[in-house]
Chains A and B, each alone.
Chain A
Amino acid sequence: QKEVEQNSGPLSVPEGAIASLNCTYSDRGSQSFFWYRQYSGKSPELIMSIYSNGDKEDGRFTAQLNKASQYVSLLIRDSQPSDSATYLCAVRDQGAQKLVFGQGTRLTINP
């Protein structure tokens, strides 16, 4: 059973600080990694994709991938109350079409 693990939280971070979200996956054959943000009552929104080891930055977001440790993380700099949401880590194996999602981490940014 392929698994993607996330701490369900809630994770509370003060406004302006860095929020760090972590995800581990079980299948070494995984090739593609994604972070989605889901506000309550809404559908998931893709915020980052990462395919190779290292860091990928996009605005206030940085995704980090370490395939040897089977670990992917998302850093949110200068956290804003509008970042409060559930963050879903998703992984896709090479050759597969479907994503395997983690349970999601609920993030709260406190003003």
Chain B
Amino acid sequence: GAVVSQHPSRVICKSGTSVKIECRSLDFQATTMFWYRQFPKQSLMLMATSNEGSKATYEQGVEKDKFLINHASLTLSTLTVTSAHPEDSSFYICSARHGTGTLYEQYFGPGTRLTVT
């Protein structure tokens, strides 16, 4: 159990366009999902925490108008990179909360590699 999928796995887009990435929990319901970005040979960087039915909480320095997050159901969260630029090229990974109470785990999706040309 605890499978998280992402779509697409790879995307190439032109500068100035928008890209939507989907994150789904396949076999469980996730009240909370997280979006990370990772540049080559660097650590994971948390971008935002997304709770189902409410606005996402963005980390300091992450532009909420550029990275739009929607968590409309218990199994789906989306990240839209608006007006993408080459510096937005990165590996975007979502994760989902699995479990209730205070002892729960986070499972990651396979990631989406975004290249902006």
Q: Which residues of B contact A103 (CB under 8 A)?
A: 43
> Of residues 41 to 81 in B, which have CB atoms within 8 Å of A's CB atoms?
43-44, 46, 49
* Chain A neighbourhood of B44, CB < 8 A: 44, 88, 101
User: Looking at the complex, which one of B97, B106, B110, B111 makes contact with A46 (CB distance below 8 Å)?
Assistant: B106
Q: How far is the CA of A90 from the CA of B105 in the complex (A)?
A: 11
Q: How far does the alpha carbon of A34 sit from the alpha carbon of B98 in the complex, in Å? A: 13
Residues of B within 8 A of A32 (CB): 102-104
Q: How many angstroms between the C-alpha atoms of A69 and B86 in the bound complex?
A: 44
For B105, the chain A residues whose CB sits under 8 A away are 34, 46, 49
Q: How distant is the Cα of A104 from the Cα of B42 in the complex, in angstroms?
A: 9
Residue A45 interfacial (CB < 8 Å) = yes
Interface size on B, residues (CB 8 A): 19
Bound CA–CA A45/B44 (angstroms): 13
Contact at A104–B43, with CB atoms within 8 Å? yes
Q: Tell whether A98 pairs with B49 under 8 Å between CB atoms, given A42-B110, A88-B44.
A: yes
**Residues of chain A lying within 8 A (CB to CB) of residue B91:** 43
> Which residues in B have their C-beta under 8 angstroms from that of A95?
102
CB distance from B91 to the nearest CB of A (A): 8
Interface: A97 (CB within 8 A): yes
List residues of chain A with CB within 8 A of the CB of B49: 97-98
Question: Closest approach, in angstroms, between the C-beta of B56 and any C-beta of chain A?
Answer: 12
**In the complex where A32-B103, A46-B106 touch, is A98 in contact with B111 (Cβ < 8 A)?**
no
5 contacts between A and B (CB under 8 A): A43-B108, A43-B111, A46-B105, A90-B106, A99-B46
Mark B residues whose CB is within 8 Å of A. 32, 34, 43-44, 46, 49, 91, 93, 97, 102-111
